[in-house]
Structures are given as C-alpha cells and as structure tokens.
Structure 1
Amino acid sequence: MIQSDRMAAIDANAEALGVPRKQLMESSGNAVAREVRDIAERGDSVVLVAGRGNNGGDAFVAARFLDEYDVTTVLLGRADTIGTEIARENWEALQRVECDTRQFTDSVAVDIPDCDVIVDGMLGTGATGALREPEATAARAINESNATVVAVDVPSGVDADTGETDGVAVDADRVVTFHDRKPGLAGLDAAVRIADIGIPDAAELFVERGDLLALSRDPQSHKGDHGEVLVVGGGPYTGAPALSAQAALRAGADLVRVAAPETVVREIQGYEESLIVRELPGDRVQPGHVDRLLELADDHDAVVFGPGLGHAEETNAAAREFLSAYDGTCVVDADPLREVPKVDTDADLICTPHQGELESMGGETADDWRERMSLVENYADELDVTLLVKGAHDIISDGEETRVGRTGNPGMTVGGTGDVLAGITGALASGHDTLTAAGIAAFVNGRAGDLAVGDREYGILPTDLLDRIPPAMWGDDK
C-alpha cells in the first residue's frame, strides 16, 4: 500500500537511478493493454479516453499495443497543451502511425463512441478534488456506456489516498494500478490488478532526488509555516550549536533560537546575526535549566538537543530530565545520545549517532551496510526512536521502515559536519515525520558535502556546507 506522494517520489527516484520515466510509461501502457486483452475479443472496439498528463500518456502507449482491436484514442483537450514531454511524444507516435485519434476541446464536444471496452486514462494518482470540464462530462458519458471500463492506476475522480469522490467519478469495472496498491482503491467495487512496471527496489530503499519532492512549498506560505527550531547546546563549545542553528536556517526553518549558557552567548551570536540566543545562567547546561528549556521548547516545532554540550555529569542529568519530560519532536546529537536508552519519554526522538556513538548507546553495528540495516532497525524498534546512523552509507530507520543514504564523501570526516546534519534534521523535523526528515537530511547533508568537495577538494570545513545546503535541497543540479 502506497500513498500518492510517496509514489511520485519513487517514480522520480527510479529516474535518478537510471530508469527513465519514458521506460516506465512504456511498461505501464503495456500493462493496460494486457488487461484489455483479458476481457476483449479480437476485433472488439476499444476507446481510450486520455487526459493531458502522464495518465493520458499511459493510455497513448496502450493504444499502440492493441493493433488486433478497433481502437480509437480520445484526447480531452488540445494536443499542444499536453503537459509532459513523454506524454506528448507518445501522442505524436500515434499520429505518425496513423492511429484513429480525436481531440475534444470542450465539454459540449465530448462524444465517446459506442464500444466494447473503455480505458479511463484521464487523471492519475496526483489528482484531487472534483473533476473539471471536459473530464466531468467524459466521466458521465463513460458511466452511461454499456462498455467494460478499465481505469489506468485509479479511476478518474477518485482520490487515490482516501477513496473519496467530490462529484462525478468514473465507475470502473477494472483497475490496473502500478507498482503497489493505492489506499483509495480499497473500497471500490472493481477488480484491481497491480502491475510491475520495472521500478527497482532501490528506488524505495535509497534516499534519492525524488524524496526532495516533499520539500515543495505553498506559494501562499506565511512566516512560521515552515518551522521554528530551538537548538540547545554550547558551554564547553561554541561552534557546534552555531553550526546546527545556521544549518537549520539554511534548510528552510523560518526562525531558529539557541539556548546556551551565558558564558558563550556572545560568541554564538557572533557567528550569525539571524540567530536569536537565549541565555542560561552559568557555564554549562544543568538540571536547574530544564524548566526554562521546556518552556522555550513549547514555543518551537522541533528541538535540536546536544551540539557542544559536552559530557559533564550535570549536563547528562539535565539531558535525561529534559528528554523524560518533553513530548515534542527532538533531534538528539553528540554527548546526550548516551542518555537516550536511560529515559522513558513521550517525545518523538531522532538520534543521529555515528557508528561509535551507536555502540556507546548500546546498539550494534557491522562493516557491511546491508548487515547494519537490520541491526539499526532492530535497535530503533527497541528504543522506539528514529535512528540516523552516519557513515559512508547512512542508515535511517524508525524500527518499521529503513532507508539508506549514499551521498557524502571522505572529506566529511572533518569535525562539525554532524552538527550541520543535526540542524538540517531539526529544520525538516519541524514539518515532516521523523523518518522523512531524517532521510532527507542525510541526503541533503551529504549532497552539500559533495558540492563543497567539488569546489575545495578534501580540505573542506563544516562551514563550507552551509551555503551549499539550499542548492542541495532545491537546486536544479540535484
């Protein structure tokens, strides 16, 4: 079972892994044609009703595989408005081989010929809300027909995630859905076939460029919509919390505040004028600060706890007390990681250890990343946290699902890149579930490191990653 947004990410990941969308469309169209052959006799009339997106492209491909039938392809709209290049190429292929094609540019013109089978290729899994014209009129005409109706991926007008309809929707007899079943198909009175279209397992396992689709923003966004992050750190060190806070800003958080001992506030503030710093009395974080930290945390969407705190016992005690009392989303990094197994918490924790820190937490590791996957998944399940275990292959697991990140390079062994990762994770955790946030953060951090090494070879500093976070997340070269 797969949600529509995750399906879109997997499609894009497959392309990033070398399986082009055009190839997937060819496989999808072929699967639809096979379904038609199962229900139609040679010479039967088949009408494919196609929209202007990739769902229509699947229908165009199917038409080419149905030579033994009397086939008509109906395009809802003008051919010059077909929305994707691969769909347009497959429409043009139908013209070159002189297939019977028709264009209906408005609802009045919609006239679906009498036929034995209708293929609904109007709208796919990404469409939501009520059908517009001419699709609404076409859907009514399809439903009034006596033909057997085969829907491509999901019946037009049915929400692929919820199964809900808003007005008219195609009443399909059969559905050919791709790669995995969509949740919205569960309540349909239709036979559903899941077609393997050649998406590799790696497209689901590895965090890739398609996962970045989750970062899209509403054009009407307002200040605060994309998260406010609190970084709790500093005392023995000043650079670590400053790196995490700056990384959170570069990763798209709207506001970032740092809670730090008063002895290092000026130094942290001096790294970046956009940071807001809150003073804690003394030179280390200690149990007496926890009430204040909880008060501050309540005003934020996510907390990054740990950068630069050090490992003094009073600070460890403060970490245990804070984590035990906090019930929000918290990224735990550096020295407080060792305290996580000791606490019972209602917080949604993302822990970001390297392999040595994982072992200090009580977890196990292995040299081979495939073996390490099961070890990390089991320990994440045991702790009831999301683990992001850093390495040449980053292993990300919430105990139920496990992903692998492959970006990054040996230049990132320099100290401070983990602080950058913690900040990116905090920014993303303020608006996404923990597994998604940790997975994308691992990809982006490594990609920023790759961009930095491309400019500076292996002599990079963690600060070199900061300006490269935005192009790693949103740049055209990703």
Structure 2
Amino acid sequence: MNGAGEGARWAMHWDEVAVFDANSASIGFDEYELMKAAGEALAGEVAKNSGEGDVLFLCGPGNNGGDGFVAACSASLAGNRVSVLSSHESSKTMISSRAREMAAKELPIHVWPETPEGDWTLIVDCLLGAGGPAEGTELRPPIIEVTNWATSTGLPVISCDIPTGLGGPDSLQPIRTVTFHSPKMGMSESGCGEIVVSDLPWPAEVRNCGVGDANRYPSMDSEASKGDRGRLLVVGGGPYHGAPILSGMAAARSGCDLVHVAMPEQASSRTKWPPSLIPEILPDSEFLTLESVGTLSSFVDSGRSPDAIVIGPGIGREGDSMEAVREVLSVSASKSIPLVIDADAISALPKGEWPPGLIGVAT
C-alpha cells in the first residue's frame, strides 16, 4: 500500500466518506474542490500506467463518476486519447453534474449502451464508490451491464476509490485502486490490486463531531416499535452520579429506544432521574463491588438483555470496583455484547493488550 500523509488514519467505513463530506460543507469548504483534488490524483496515477495509450473512463451517476469526469479532462492526460462512457444519462448529485458539464465541453460523453470506439490500453473504473451499494451486494443494471462489458475486453483496470462491486459476484478486478484519505473497510490487494492512498484537502476540522455525524445513525422509521432502535445498559456511578446520567441521556437523544442505568444505591438516591432513563438499582451501597456482578449477569441473561453496554462513567476506583469491572468485561465477552469502556473503567483493562473476545472500544 502506497501513500497516506500526516495525521491519524484508519480503515474508514464506506459511510464515513459522506460524514466527512457533510462536515466539510458545513464549515464552508467547497465540495467541488474535493472532487477536483480526487480527480487530479486519479489522473496522475492513470498517466503513470497508460504511457501514451488510449484510455477509457467508465463514469457512474454519483460523485465517483464526477471524479472520473474531472480526471478525464486533466492536463496529466493531455498526451492520451481519452474516451468517456457514462452508465446513466445524467448525474445525481450537484457536484457530479457540475463535473459532467465541464467534461462535456471538452470530450464527447457516450451513454450506455452506446460505446465509444478506441484502441484502449487501460480502463478507469469510476462507476460506484463509497456511496454505492454495500460490500458484496449484487450490482444492478445498467452498472452490471457496463462492468460485464468492461471485463469482456480483457483490458487492465484502475479503480477510483473502491472497485465497483467490491466483494460481490460482479466486481471489477483492478490492477490498482486509487483511494482517498485512507483505505476503506473490506479493501485488500486480492480485490483491489495495488492500493494507492491519496490525500484530500479535507480541513482537519472534519474529524470533529459535526452535522455530518448524524449520518452515522440509522434514520427513524415511522412504523418502528419500542425497542427496535436498541437497548443499552449503562453501568456507573458510586462517587459520582452525574456522569452515568449524562451518558444515558446522550444515548437516548441519539436514538436508542431503551436506556437502563445501573448505579449503587446511594448514587441512585442522589439522582433526579429523567423520564427517558430506566433506573436499575444495584445491591451495592456506595460503590460498585463484586456483589453487583450477579445482578448485572442476571440482567444480561434476562429477556431485557442489552444490545450494548457502557461501563465506567462516574464509577471511581474505590475498593474492588476494578475487579468488578473486569468481571463485567468477561460477561460481555462471553455474550458477544459490544462494550464502551469509559473513564476509570479503562484502568481495568490489561496493559498493552485487548481482552480476548471482547467487542468494544475504550473512550
């Protein structure tokens, strides 16, 4: 894998691209500048691999196709004969439509099933990117028709951001994939060829929580029933009672249907409980001890078993609280319940390693 610049990078979920794009737009950054940067980076890689040979761009209806329209007109390919085949009559986003209009001023755009003629040496796949169907999903017409035709040519392919159909039965098999900012989940050399990571000029602030982060959560279903959006158990409190309440309220406000908050008796009695939270009183008086582990285990095994657990807010480190936390971690791992380990509970984790079988994150 080549490329990647400075700053924290991780394998991005496909939907995170939309999060970053929306955060960027909300602070006034022109999304078209991002598309131009992606297109120019793609064109540079295409130029390296095509020499002076003819190049065919396959452009889809979304922003991945927009990247392709920009790249097809790049000065990097001034020495190449470039053809463009679009899968759809029009583009579906404002910035991809803008890129298409700009490209149409310089190149003829052929629309499937009309195919251009050329003695191509390379095909550039810009059909579907991070905004396309989930990994492993079967492609639908006309995209599948275009990919089948492209495969039948036997020509080498370079993919833009994510190979079209990655992980599915109809995927294009590129020799190289030019992806942006960081690799995406599911990418490997077996499905993507050589992976080249190119930076985008996203402002650093896009990593901060912004309006785009709302896209991380499933949209509301008007016909949903209570509990369809999950059940959460918050285990905390003892010396402090505010932190577990704030954690529970944050979960409820983000859309979780049923939020249970379990605290020792004294912490619970000091609390003014909001109606959106369900109190679960632990047998401990002042702070979490091993005595409460059985109660929590019974809750997990009951018909109210949580879909996830948060442990640690306001919990402190008194007595054997950390040993009790370790037992809860073990219960969570045995039941494959995702866990958020917060605040003092992080001290219960083994140093330098993650507990085997535990699904979760430390915050």
Q: Give the TM-score, by structure 2 length.
A: 0.72
Distance of 1:286 and 1:60 partners within structure 2? 60
Unaligned runs of 5+ in 2: 1-9
Compute the displacement of 1:239 (Å): 6.0
Which amino acid letter does the alignment assign opposite residue 190 of structure 2? G
| Post-superposition CA distance 1:216-266 (Å, at most 9, x none) | 347486543543233456678776655554343223222123445667867
For residue 149 of structure 1, the aligned residue among 137, 151, 157 is 157
1:47/1:115 contact within 8 Å kept: no
Taking structure 1 as reference, are residues 178 and 263 closer, same or farther at Cα in structure 2, changes over 3 Å only? closer
For residue 382 of structure 1, the aligned residue among 337, 351, 358 is 351
Q: Name the residue aligned to 2:7.
A: none
Answer 1 or 2: higher relative contact order, Cα 8 Å, separation at least 6: 2
Q: What is the root-mean-square deviation of aligned Cα atoms in Å?
A: 4.1
Taking structure 1 as reference, are residues 214 and 286 closer, same or farther at Cα in structure 2, changes over 3 Å only? closer
Which amino acid letter does the alignment assign opposite residue 55 of structure 2? V
1:29/1:62 contact within 8 Å kept: yes
Taking structure 1 as reference, are residues 329 and 86 closer, same or farther at Cα in structure 2, changes over 3 Å only? farther
For residue 124 of structure 1, the aligned residue among 129, 132, 137 is 129
Taking structure 1 as reference, are residues 189 and 56 closer, same or farther at Cα in structure 2, changes over 3 Å only? closer
Distance of 1:381 and 1:7 partners within structure 2? 33
Unaligned runs of 5+ in 1: 159-163, 331-345, 362-378, 387-431, 439-478
Q: Give the TM-score, by structure 1 length.
A: 0.57
Which amino acid letter does the alignment assign opposite residue 295 of structure 2? R
Superposition map of 1:311-326 within 5 A: 316-317=318-319, 319-326=321-328
Q: Name the residue aligned to 2:118.
A: 114
Distance of 1:61 and 1:252 partners within structure 2? 39
| Post-superposition CA distance 1:13-56 (Å, at most 9, x none) | 555566533112111111222233334455x5433221000110
Distance of 1:240 and 1:152 partners within structure 2? 44
Q: Name the residue aligned to 1:434.
A: 361
For residue 196 of structure 1, the aligned residue among 192, 195, 199 is 199
1:48/1:72 contact within 8 Å kept: yes
Superposition map of 1:1-20 within 5 A: 2-5=11-14, 6-15=16-25, 19-20=29-30
| Post-superposition CA distance 1:258-316 (Å, at most 9, x none) | 44566786775x64334333445685457444432442355332144554x7x7xxx93
Distance of 1:53 and 1:111 partners within structure 2? 20
2:261/2:279 contact within 8 Å kept: yes
Q: Name the residue aligned to 1:373.
A: none
For residue 341 of structure 2, the aligned residue among 346, 350, 366 is 350
Query: Which structure has greater helix proportion?
Result: 1
Compute the displacement of 1:124 (Å): 1.2
- 1:214 paired to 2:216: yes
Q: Percent identity?
A: 28
Compute the displacement of 1:326 (Å): 1.1
- 1:138 paired to 2:146: yes
1:350/1:434 contact within 8 Å kept: yes
- 1:291 paired to 2:299: no
| Post-superposition CA distance 1:122-158 (Å, at most 9, x none) | 1113433111111111112112225443322232122
1:257/1:277 contact within 8 Å kept: yes
Taking structure 1 as reference, are residues 277 and 176 closer, same or farther at Cα in structure 2, changes over 3 Å only? closer
Q: Say which SS state the counterpart of residue 187 (structure 1) adopts.
A: helix
Q: Say which SS state the counterpart of residue 113 (structure 1) adopts.
A: coil
1:178/1:197 contact within 8 Å kept: yes
Q: Say which SS state the counterpart of residue 151 (structure 1) adopts.
A: strand
Distance of 2:319 and 2:171 partners within structure 1? 59
